[in-house]
Amino acid sequence: MKRVVITGLGVITPVGNDAKTMWDNLLTGTSGVDTIKSFDTSNHTVTIAGEVKNFDPCARLDPKAIKRLDRCVQLCLWAAAEAVEDAQIDFDKYDKAQIGAIIGSGIGGLLTWEREHTKFIEKGPARVSPFLIPMMIPDMTSGYVAIQYGLKGPNYTTISACASGAHAIGDAFRAIKYGDADVVVSGGSEAPVTPFALAGFSNMRALSRRNDEPQKASRPFDKARDGFIMAEGAAIFILEELEFAKKRGAKIYAEIVGFGATGDGYHITAPAPAGEGARRSMERAIREAGCTNEEIDYINTHGTSTELNDKFEAQAIRDLFEDRAPKLVLNATKSMIGHTLGAAGAIETAVVLLSIRDRKLHPTINLDDPLDECAGFDFVTGAARTVDIEYALSNSLGFGGHNATLCFRKFHD
C-alpha cells in the first residue's frame, strides 16, 4: 500500500480568508460568529451565523465566470487556488489522468436554488436561468476544480451532511493508497447561510438563539449550549503519494494514515445513543493507522454545540479510550467558526495539520461549565497550548447517521 501525505492547503472561513489569517485568529480565540449581514433577518427567529467576511471572488477568480458560479463553488475554487499555490505544484508537468478531485458538499448551490425558485414563482418558468442546474448541483465543487486545472483522474463529490468533507478526504486518501491516483485535490465547501436554510434549521430547533451574544453562542460541550451556529466556508488540500511528493521536493504537512467510516442506522438527525457509531468510526481509523489508542495525542472533536451530539461524542471518546481518555488533549473548532456543514471536516483537517506543524492547539472558547460526560477531559481553553502531536484524530458526524474519522501522523521519512 502507498503512503499518502498532504502538501498544500487553502481555506476560507468566518475567521479568515486564507490559512494564515484563520490560524492566527483561532490561536487567539477570536470568534467569527456575528449578526447576519448578507440578508434581512427581521422575520427570522435566529439572526446570527458564521459568514465569510470581505470576500471578493474577483481577487482570485475569473470575473467573467463568477456570475455562473454559486457561492459554494466560488469558495471552493478560492481555497483550491491557495492550496495549489501552497503546494507549489504545476499539474501540467504530470499525467493528469493520475490527478483527481474529490470534494465534499452537503448541500451545494442552495443560494442559487433559492433565488431561481423565487424567480420561477414570481415571474414564471421563462425567467429561470439556464445555468440553474449546473450552478445548483453539489458535484460542481469537484467538477469545476477538475475543469480549472484540467484534472482527469477520479472525480466526484461526497454528500453525507456534516461528514461530507471528511468523507471526501478519506476517499482521496484511499484512492492514492490503492494506486488509483498519484495526486488528489480534496476537501469540502459549503455556503448554507441563506434565508431558506436558516428558517429550516431554526424551525427544527437545531440552532442557537443567543442572538444578543453572537460570539458566545457556539458553546461545544458546555452545559449552557442551545444549538449550533450555521456557517460557510471551504478548505481544500493537495494529497500526494509519498514518493511522488518526495520526487518533486514538496514540503509535507503530515501523513494521513487512517480513515474510519460508519453508520448509525438509527435516526434522521439524532446520533446513536452513547455515540456508538462515532466510537466505531474512531476505532476503524486507529486500526487502519496501525497505531494503538495509547498513541493518540489529540482529537479535534466534531463538537457542534448541540444537546445530543456533544453528549454522545464525549461518551464515545470515554468508551473507546477508557483510562486513556483524560490524557487526550481535545478542542472544538466550531466554538469560533460555527458549523460549516459539509465543509466542517475539511476545515478541521486544516486545523489539525497546522496544529501538528506548529505544535500548537487553539483554545475552545465559551466552554465555561463542561458537561458531566466530559469530567476529567483535557480541553484546551483560555489560551492556545503547545503540544507535541504524533497522532491526531478528527471527527465528523452528520445528520442521517454518517460518521467519519481521519487519523493523521506527524511525517517521518
CA-based nearest residue to 358, from 387, 338, 401, 325: 387
Angstrom distance (rounded) from CA 117 to CA 245: 46
Contact assessment for residue 396 and residue 404, using Cβ atoms and an 8 Å cutoff: yes
Nearest to 33 by CA among 15, 6, 56: 15
Q: Is 70 within 8 Å of 135 (Cβ atoms)? A: yes
Residue type, 117: H
Q: What is the C-alpha separation between 273 and 344, in angstroms, rounded?
A: 22
Check if the beta carbon of residue 188 is closer than 8 Å to that of residue 165: yes
Q: How many CB atoms lie within 10 A of CB 243?
A: 12
Question: How far are the Cα atoms of 147, 181, 254, 319, 391 from residue 352, in angstroms, in the given order?
Answer: 29, 24, 9, 23, 10
Task: Determine the Cα–Cα distance for residues 213 and 40; give it in Å rounded to an integer.
Answer: 18
Which residues form the catalytic set?
162
Angle at 344 between CA 203 and CA 300, to 5 degrees: 115
Could you tell me the three cell numbers for 406?
A: 481521519
How far does Cα 136 stand from its chain's mean position? 20
